[in-house]
Amino acid sequence: RKEVEQDPGPFNVPEGATVAFNCTYSNSASQSFFWYRQDCRKEPKLLMSVYSSGNEDGRFTAQLNRASQYISLLIRDSKLSDSATYLCVVNTNAGKSTFGDGTTLTVKP
């Protein structure tokens, strides 16, 4: 079993739709959590950190459930430009970052 697991998708949604991605992690000692987006053949770009209280940045909402060891990302009012692969990242205190394999989103007109 992988340390960080994501549904690979692809998720194909129309513009304006709401879409949610989940990510589960196995290391209960994990300390910090992030979502990144990666466009085809580009480097990952930080989308947002994920806090225990949940956090929102415009159309994006991230939540963390430590008891169940999962994090989520909700995208509202999807835009064509949201089409990308979304990677969840889990860090431990030991300086190790573990990425999921990503969930691919395609937003269609």
Q: Does 42 bind other proteins (CB under 8 A)?
A: yes
Nearer to other proteins, 100 or 107 (CB): 100
8: preceding bond cis by omega (within 30 degrees): no
- The SS3 assignment for 80 reads helix
Letters for 66-95 (x = contact with other proteins by CB under 8 A, - = none) are: ---------------------x-x-x-xxx
Report H helices in 1-109: none
Q: Could you say which DSSP state residue 42 is in? A: S
| Binder of other proteins out of 27, 70, 101, 106 (CB under 8 A) | 101
Residue ranges with strand state E in the chain: 4-6, 11-14, 19-25, 32-38, 45-50, 55-57, 60-65, 70-75, 84-91, 97-99, 103-108
Q: State which residue, 8 or 16, has the beta carbon closest to other proteins.
A: 8
| Shortest distance in whole angstroms from residue 63 CB to other proteins | 16
Is 49 among the residues that bind other proteins (CB under 8 A)?
Answer: yes
Instruction: Point out which residues bind other proteins (CB under 8 A).
Output: 4, 31-32, 34, 42-46, 49, 87, 89, 91, 93-102
